[in-house]
Structure formats: C-alpha cells, structure tokens
Amino acid sequence: MDIPILAETYSKMAPDRPLGTIRIHAAAGNPCRGWLIAGRQVSPVALGRGGIMANKREGDGGTPKGTFRPRRLWWRADRHRRPSTHLPVRAIRPSDAWCEDPASRHYNRPLKIAPGGDGDRLTRDDHLYDFIVEIDHNARPRTAGRGSAVFLHLARPDFSPTAGCISMTKSAMLHLLRQIGPDTRIIIK
C-alpha cells in the first residue's frame, strides 16, 4: 500500500487518548524533506533548509534533532473553526508574535507587539501559521542562540524548506492534532 493511500485510509480515525510518540525523520536523498509517522499515519513534511541538526543554532535553518513535547496549539480562529485536539488551544491575535532575538529577555517566548514592532508575527498573510504546534525546543532552560520559534505548522504548496520548523499539509495537520497531547513525545532524528 503506498503512503498517500495509507494516510488517507486512517485520516478519519481519532484515538480516545493521545499517542505516546510521533517520529519525524529526513527522507532518503533530500535532507529538507521528511516523513512524520504518527500511529498509522505517515505524512510527508518539509524540514529546515539545513536539514536535521544535533547542534541547532539561531538562524542556521536547521530542524533540531532530539525528543520534544508539544506545548499548545495556536490557531487562526478568524480563518478556521477550532480543531479537535488534546492540546491546550489558543487563538492567535493580531498582536501575537514570537521573540527570536537572543539578546532579549523574552527570547524564544511568545510576546505581544504593536503594529510595526519587532518579532516573528504569528498573524501572516499566507497560511503557514494558520495552525502552529508550539514544541518545547530550547524552553527549559532557554539558552540564547540555541534556536527559537521551532514549530509544527502548515507547508508551502511546493513543500519548500522551512527556517527550521516542520511543516505539513492542512489535512495532515488536522489529523495529527486529533492524535497528540501534551505528553506525546516528538522524536526528530
């Protein structure tokens, strides 16, 4: 059975409790593409332009290697209805942003910004951040320069590389959201 059919076959199933583990790994021959395996769901993903890296640094374009946990789902309530998930959920507001400045005390944390302020604004004209799964990469302890704003989010139509995040189609994201919770381990290798 090929992968798209497998993913479609299980797309309507939602577990009563979250999966314990999901895995993400690079595709053979292309370090910027990969596969996300969540239970019986196998989905293509785009990875960072630097591939998966064990020694993630701010701005290197790498997707961090390691084991992480999802913290919460951020979603564009102005574009989509609230998705089904076991994660804590927060609607994205126009003032929501993420601090990517290693010199800031807010580094790798959400923050509020005024129009024209600095930060990775979570409200975007494109649809990449319509659904964002915040993961605990470089969260405790936060280390300046070790990478920020590493999310699971929606992919560009051409599945081009990300700046270090993991991106996927909307249908794969919605299916994944139904299967994960705060205790799900995200293994990136």
Residues 6+ apart with CB under 8 A from 87: 70, 71, 72, 73, 133, 177, 180, 181, 182
pLDDT at 16: 79
Distance in angstroms (rounded) separating the CA atoms of residues 62 and 64: 6
CB 80 within 8 A of CB 131: yes
Q: First and final CA of the chain: distance in angstroms? A: 25
Per-residue pLDDT of the chain (189 residues; tens, 9 = 90+): 334 433 433 334 445 789 999 999 999 999 999 999 999 999 999 999 999 999 999 999 999 999 999 999 999 999 999 999 999 999 999 999 999 999 999 999 999 998 777 668 999 999 999 999 999 999 999 999 999 999 999 999 999 999 999 999 999 999 999 999 999 999 999
pLDDT at 114: 84
Radius of gyration of the chain (CA): 16
* Cis amide linkage into residue 141, ω under 30° from 0: yes
CB 74 within 8 A of CB 92: yes
Q: What is the CATH number of domain 3-188?
A: 2.40.440.10
CB 67 within 8 A of CB 116: no
Report which DSSP code applies to 105. Answer: T
User: How does strand 151-154 pair with strand 166-168?
Assistant: parallel
Q: Convert the pLDDT of each residue in 2-36 to its tens digit.
A: 344 334 333 344 457 899 999 999 999 999 999 99
CB 111 within 8 A of CB 98: yes
CB atoms within 10 A of CB 149: 23
Distance in angstroms (rounded) separating the CA atoms of residues 81 and 28: 36
Distance in angstroms (rounded) separating the CA atoms of residues 92 and 114: 14
